Every structure is written in structure tokens, then in C-alpha cells.
Amino acid sequence: MNTTQQTGGQSPLTGQVLFYQQPQPLSPEDHGGLGVKQIPEPFGFLRQAHAVPVTVTEFGLAASSYPIIFVGNDRTPVAVMGVRQGQNLFVDEQGRVGEDHYVPAFVRRYPFVFAADDASDRLVLCVDRAAPMVSNQPEVPFFENGQPSKFTNDAIEFCKEFERQRRATADFVKMLVELDLMEQKTVAFQPRDNQGNPVGDQQKIADYYAISEERLNALPEAKYLELRNNGAVGACYAHLVSLLNWPKVIQRAVRLSPPAPLNA
């Protein structure tokens, strides 16, 4: 699939992506006077995302902060950043994510994104015109003298690399499915009173897919060596270690807003 960063008009684009309210193909004709500015809440747009897609190369970094689970028919890997729909537990009142928590590339590429163009087999670089940092009085412009600025070119390269990693992640997941390494799991929470005694019924937080360590260890040696040699084993164990973060995320949810029911 080919990629392009500019288009002279509005092309029909397919797909809806988390965060993006008004994605438009980036062009000097439509966005020549626009750019980005600093905003008071840099990650305010992340507040309502309780799960964010991550690529396989990010598993090691994300695993230190969040559970990484696989969801949906495509078994998309996501970092769990909350246990309730519409609530991210890692964005503070100032719209920031703590320095000790990893921010996925899916978030860092915003307000840019590649989108599919129905008219041809290509990807078009888009910008979310509704993004709070996009301004007609920019500190950093998208274009200079009708050409992409360094900022825009850097964004293009970042999005290209993200697309490469997204495809590598799809290949990784396909390999896990072909080797039958996935199993369905459920995570639940037992409410307790101030003395630690159980109160009421358990609350289910999420059903998801995870790698089975038992099946991974039971692989034929040749298959296991193949996973090791292509770097997949490290990602598998990073995912397994990340699941140890479930209690931390649940307790964070209880501490921040105990009255609401937990439901991812």
C-alpha cells in the first residue's frame, strides 16, 4: 500500500479511530495557515480512553505500567489504562500522564493519523482539525512556503514507523493464533470494606484474550526456537508479566472513585 502526506481536496476516508473527531487529509491548500500550539492539558484527549492500542515493540515498556491484553476478533493488543468505559486512570487533573508511566505511540502521534483512501490503494496523512492543539495561530506551523515544515515531516516519519509497527503487530498476533497460544481469560474484582472483608458479589471487569504460558512452554522445540529467534518470545513474556498490573489498576480505580461499579 502506498502512502502520501498531501492531497488537494477532501478524499473519502475509511475507518474511525480513537480520539479523532474531524480527521482531514493534510494539505497546504486547506491547512496552510494552521499548526500546533502548547495547550494547558496536553493529554486531556486521553481522559476518556480506558484502553489504548499498543504495538508489539512497545510491550516491554508498557508492561511496567499497564496490563496488556488482546481484544476483539482481531485480538488487538491494548494497554489497559482504566477499568470503566470512558475513564482513564492515568491522566491527572492537569491533563498529564505521570513521568513514571509509559505513553503509547498511538497517543503520541495525535493529532496525526494515516487513513485509507477509498479511491486508491494508499494511505493519506490526516490531521484532526478538532484537536485542541491545532490552531490558526500556531507556535509551530504545518507548512512553510507551501511545503511541509520540519515538524510535519517528523510527524510523517513517526506515522510511517507506527504503520510499520502496526503491521508487524498484526503478523505477531497472527502467529500466536496459528500456534494456538491464545486463551480466553476473565478478570474480576471483589469489593471489600475498610476492614478488608468481602462486600457483595464479585464484579467482572473484562473478558479478554491472553497468551497461555502453559501452551507457550509446551511448544515443540523448533517452534519455540523460531519464536525466540524472531524476537517474539520476549514480547510474549512482557505480556505475561504485564498481567501482574491488574491489581494495581483495580486498586487505583477503587481509590479514585469507589462508588461507581467497575466494568471495562
Residue recorded with cell 510491550: 59
170, 190, 216 — which closes off a domain?
170
Are 117 and 247 in a shared domain?
Answer: no
Q: Which residues contact 221 (CB under 8 A, 6 or more apart)?
A: none
**Mean pLDDT, range 231-238, rounded to an integer:** 96
Residue 92 confidence (pLDDT) above 90: yes
Q: How far apart are alpha carbons 97 and 120 in whole angstroms? A: 38
Does the residue 87 lie in any domain? no
* pTM across the whole model: 0.86
Residue 239 confidence (pLDDT) above 70: yes
**pLDDT confidence of residue 206:** 87
**pLDDT confidence of residue 3:** 36
Concatenated DSSP letters of 193-255: -TTS-B-S--EEEEEEEEE-HHHHHTS-HHHHHHHHHTTHHHHHHHHHHHGGGHHHHHHHHHH
What stretches of 43-146 show up as alpha helix (H) in DSSP?
Answer: 59-62, 105-108
- The residue segments making up the domain with residue 257 are 50-60+70-81+179-264
Per-residue pLDDT of 248-261, as tens digits, reads 999 898 887 554 44
Q: Residue 82 has which C-alpha cell?
A: 482504566
Could you tell me what percent of the chain has a pLDDT over 90?
A: 73
- C-alpha to C-alpha distances, 245 to 4, 7, 69, 236, nearest whole angstrom: 39, 43, 11, 15
- pLDDT bucket at 35, cuts 50 / 70 / 90: very high
Are 1 and 124 in a shared domain?
Answer: yes
Residue among 231, 76, 52 nearest 166 (CA): 76
Q: How far apart are alpha carbons 233 and 154 in whole angstroms? A: 31
**pLDDT confidence of residue 116:** 75
170, 205, 220 — which closes off a domain?
170
Are 256 and 184 in a shared domain?
Answer: yes
Are 243 and 191 in a shared domain?
Answer: yes
* Angle of the 232-242 helix axis to the 150-178 helix axis, nearest 10: 90
**pLDDT confidence of residue 11:** 31
Mean pLDDT taken over the chain:
88
Per-residue pLDDT of 184-223, as tens digits, reads 999 987 776 676 677 777 788 889 999 999 999 999 999 9
What total of structural domains would you count in the chain? Answer: 2
* Angle of the 221-229 helix axis to the 232-242 helix axis, nearest 10: 90
**Cβ atoms of residues 163 and 124 within 8 Å:** no
Does the residue 25 lie in any domain? yes
170, 195, 219 — which closes off a domain?
170
